Amino acid sequence: MNLIIFSGLLGVVMMFCGLFIKNNRTISYIAIAAMLFLLLVNTIEFTTGNGFFTIKAAAGLLQPSKYGLLVNEILLVAGILYFVLSGRDIEKVGVHVADYYALIFFVFAGIGIATSYTSLLMLFLGIEIISIPLYILTGADKLNLKSNEASLKYFLMGSFSTGLMLMGIALIYGATGSFAVFKMNIAETPVTYNMVAGMLLLLVSMAFKVSAAPFHFWTPDVYDGAPTVFTSFMATIVKVAAFIAFIRVFEGSYSSLNKKWQLVIAIIIAATLLIGNITAVFQQSVKRMLAYSSIAQAGFMLFGLFAFNDLARQGIVLYAAAYSFATIGIFSVLIKMDDHTFEGFNGFAKKEPLLAGLLTVFVLSLAGIPLTAGFFSKYFMIAGALSTGGTYLWLIILAMLCAAISVYYYFRIIQAMYFKTGEAEHTAVSVPFKLTLVLVAVLVIVLGVMPQVLLQYIYF
């Protein structure tokens, strides 16, 4: 609750900052401070279990859970890192810097809803509050046709998927007579055809939001076209939030419909992994490659939905952290590069050994190499899936093969940086930037060596 209210308020504050403060840098600092404040209030709620506000009316609609709050924590940390690393670049997108920040804070309000809703109404509102600012941020670079195009595509397809979601919700309502998520639990309500069709449509629309194949088509284009700073935000924080929302929807209902859903989700996972990984292989632009890689990573995260057990829940948290941190790190460096293709990284290690080293850590994490957080996140996903039995072994093998394919394109960055010669042109980076990036890398490695640092909070 704290997060929703305060980030809404802070969004407004940021809007007004735009009016009164002309210095973009100051706005950025205020935004960072605001984000720290959000982290603080969320931490208070997380540790004490109580928000500052008790709203009786919210009882059936929002129910903050430890799990959701933990995810919020991660996302807020990621948000702070994102602001610190990419604040300068947000300033460069356009003139409405304060408004961009305001929109981002609104998105965080949406995230707060998405991680704590118990009613499909709130899910709908949360998703929309997340989506609408993103349509705008995507199109923030107004004179750039790519940005225009991405924005339009995102908006049209996003609205379309909203339509699908609403249809699904309506059908579910028809079957259960309620929007409460727990009502979807089949133990409470008999399975009807309405219900199944509704859940299917809901599944589809949520799959769209997390860019799971075959509903992923918007992702590469939008991520590619959007200003890189906002791609970074969308591909990490927003995506994770969408995942949490996705999982909350099906948490209650899923187990009872297990077998059928498992196959459906297995097919989606397989398609996502294959399309994401294979298409990424041939990309020339790192940005677009990262877009496909985010699809591929979504495939892995979907295992959490596939398995729905403790391991998978832990895995989702870990994955959220590992994936967000690493991707934010990579994007923050990518933004600084003049050339966003792989060739643009040629010889980077010679010019910026530290940045190259950190980038390597992030890339290794995304590839799931041990000693980085990426390994354990993948590990938990696979372990969760395997503990449901051996029926879907083919899927797991496929996932592993895809992980191997992912090494192919991730390592192209490493190859370009270290083994190829060239002049990697980039804008200069500040020392705080480097220090923050080091911090991110340390986080990635710590989670990769001792994941319990994070996992212990799930059940404490």
Please report whether residue 354 would count as binding other proteins according to CB under 8 A: no
Please report whether residue 341 would count as binding other proteins according to CB under 8 A: no
Residue of 6, 46, 82, 106 that binds other proteins (CB under 8 A): 106
Which residues, at least 6 apart from 327, have a Cβ–Cβ distance to it below 8 Å? Answer: 232, 235, 236, 290, 294, 362, 366
Q: Looking at residue 334, what DSSP letter applies?
A: H
Stretch that binds other proteins, among 42-50, 66-74, 219-227, 329-337 (CB under 8 A): 219-227
Q: According to CB under 8 A, which residues from 264 to 323 bind other proteins?
A: 264, 267, 275, 278-283, 314
Residue of 10, 27, 75, 102 that binds other proteins (CB under 8 A): 102
Please report whether residue 145 would count as binding other proteins according to CB under 8 A: yes
Please report whether residue 169 would count as binding other proteins according to CB under 8 A: yes
Residue of 66, 96, 351, 434 that binds other proteins (CB under 8 A): 96
Q: How far is the CB of 22 from other proteins (least distance, A)?
A: 14
Q: In the complex with other proteins, which residue's Cβ is closer, 81 or 212?
A: 212
Q: In the complex with other proteins, which residue's Cβ is closer, 81 or 228?
A: 228
Residue of 94, 188, 339, 445 that binds other proteins (CB under 8 A): 94
Q: In the complex with other proteins, which residue's Cβ is closer, 81 or 204?
A: 204
Write the binding mask 361 to 400 for other proteins: x where contact by CB under 8 A, - elsewhere. ---x----xxx---xx--x--xx--xx--x--x--xx--x
Look up tokens 């990284």; give the residue: 345
Please report whether residue 122 would count as binding other proteins according to CB under 8 A: yes
Q: How far is the CB of 381 from other proteins (least distance, A)?
A: 10
> In the chain, what's the furthest Cα-to-Cα distance?
64
Stretch that binds other proteins, among 42-50, 81-89, 139-147, 299-307 (CB under 8 A): 139-147
Q: How far is the CB of 377 from other proteins (least distance, A)?
A: 13
Name which of 42, 38, 44, 35 is nearest 80 in CA terms: 35
Residue 297: both structure tokens together: 């990573």
Stretch that binds other proteins, among 74-82, 150-158, 336-344, 427-435 (CB under 8 A): 150-158
CA distance 391 to 382: 13
Residue of 33, 49, 160, 432 that binds other proteins (CB under 8 A): 160
Stretch that binds other proteins, among 33-41, 76-84, 122-130, 248-256 (CB under 8 A): 122-130
Q: According to CB under 8 A, which residues from 406 to 445 bind other proteins?
A: 407-408, 411, 415, 418-420
Q: Looking at residue 77, what DSSP letter applies?
A: H
**CB environment 138-170: b (16+ within 10 A), e (fewer):** bbbbeebeebebbbebbbebbeebbebbebbbe
Please report whether residue 36 would count as binding other proteins according to CB under 8 A: no
Residue of 95, 187, 354, 435 that binds other proteins (CB under 8 A): 95
Amino acid at 116: S
Residue 38: both structure tokens together: 């959000």
Please report whether residue 115 would count as binding other proteins according to CB under 8 A: no
Residue of 38, 61, 69, 440 that binds other proteins (CB under 8 A): 61
**CB environment 190-211: b (16+ within 10 A), e (fewer):** eeeeebbbbbbbbbbbbbbbbb
Residue of 20, 48, 54, 143 that binds other proteins (CB under 8 A): 143
Which residues, at least 6 apart from 44, have a Cβ–Cβ distance to it below 8 Å? Answer: 2, 52
CA distance 406 to 326: 15
Contact 353, 418 (CB under 8 A): no
Contact 145, 226 (CB under 8 A): no
Please report whether residue 178 would count as binding other proteins according to CB under 8 A: yes
Please report whether residue 76 would count as binding other proteins according to CB under 8 A: no
Residue 132: both structure tokens together: 């609408």
Contact 450, 346 (CB under 8 A): no
Name which of 151, 156, 162 is nearest 127 in CA terms: 162
Residue of 34, 74, 76, 136 that binds other proteins (CB under 8 A): 136
Torsion of CA 434, 438, 440, 444, to 10 degrees: 150
